[in-house]
Structure 1
Amino acid sequence: MFETETFLAASLIPALLVAFSAGILSFLSPCVLPIVPPYLAYMGGVSVTDMEDDKGARNRAVVSALFFVLGLSTVFLILGAGASALGRAFLGYKSYFEIGAGIVVIIFGFHFLGLYRLKFLDREMRVDAGDKGGSAFGAYFLGLAFAFGWTPCLGPILSAILGLATGQADVGKGMVLLGTYAIGLGVPFLLVAAFFPQLKRPMAWMKRNMGVIEKTSGVLLIIVGLAMATGFLAMFAYWMLEAMPFLAVFG
């Protein structure tokens, strides 16, 4: 039998994969993807047309996007630490937390599928950061505001990752998990800023097919919720340790 510490470390690997994928899905959500170009332009102090035609403008947008992602990451790292601390405090009830979190994620999955709508998840709070963009500090502030203001809209996907972080019951691992989610959400911002002319058409296609993307997200949320509630993620981690013993080095 594997040592508990080794298993817990290896069990983080499937959770990290889920977290990174969840970050990408959050980027593709209806309340994020449509506002990406104007946000990037605002943060860089340029126009969307400049981003398309001027490499220097795209470079400024990339720098601003980097600070924006740092702002996002700050909030999500704090959330990860808080969720893990909660899990540690109620370690004896860990299995109940996982089942409850799984059920909530499944409910959110049905919301994405359109079987019913949870009105509070369709709302968002946008924070006015002033009339002037183009500063690193402003971009960082917008990242903080984005993470807080869009939490209701990102809630269905973010809740799944917070549930996983609570199950880790380790502050460091919880922060790594939410940091990975932030990377999945933030890296696409950097890619769009750097390669806006090449990605303009794919982004337009995604906007036109937002309904399909949202339903796909719903299906994935239901799968993750079932895995959390039934303990499948833990079983998958055991299988990974047996099939790939080198993962024990993470312990």
Structure 2
Amino acid sequence: MATSLFDLTGRVALITGGSKGLGKAMARAFAQAGADVIISSRHPAELEAALPEILHGTHRKGCWIAADLSVREDMQRLADEALATFGRIDILVNNAGSNIPEPIEDLQDVNWDRLMELNLTSCMVLSRAVAPAMKERGWGRIIHISSVMGMTSKAGRTTYSATKAALIGMTRAMALDLGPSGVTVNCIAPGPFLTDLPLSVLSPADRQNFSDRTALGRWGDPQEVAGPALLLASDAGSYITGSTLLVDGGVLCKSL
């Protein structure tokens, strides 16, 4: 019975930012649990390379769709193409996101606007596109990838923290909209995971500081978000909705 609770056979999952890092790890977990998967990012070459690795040994189907989710037209195109390819989306993971550290006095409008579109608006647009069919079928899972930075922050993260905190609020409201139809909406708030994003914006000293801030004393491996995602995407998490699941290695419990 425990195994069947996590079985995704017959489901179709769309994972944005699915070509690497947390997105790739979640897509792989879903495929291993029986789901067909659609992955998306801005980079066709990365998607093409990632998909066989995600599907390896699973006998599942999959495809990739290149889209820039900071562009409103690409958001809708991704939803339309994904639905057209498999005819349904049962699980949506809004994982695509970025960070441009800037102190508030130097914050540029173009960066604020881009991150708002990518980190927040794309999650709304894709959720809006897949929700009607999920409601009609009486089953669906929407998972937004927020961040521990939506609950705490550090200097220079005004835009990033704003978008990630907004996702937590949007999750609660969407859960109320969709819950009566059997659709759950949840957040995962990762802490420090060693992916391309932190490696691109943090100095070695910053990376050590983040490691020191965790209760476990280390960064997370992307594989360690796969289990929480599978919980929320499957029948194992059927009575969890409107919630934010911290996967942070104990960052928030270590305040001093």
Relative to its length, the structure with more helix (as a share) is 1
Q: Greater RCO between the two (CA within 8 Å, min separation 6)?
A: 1
Question: 1 or 2, which has the higher strand percentage?
Answer: 2
TM-score computed with the length of structure 1 as normaliser: 0.25
Structure 2-normalised TM-score?
A: 0.24
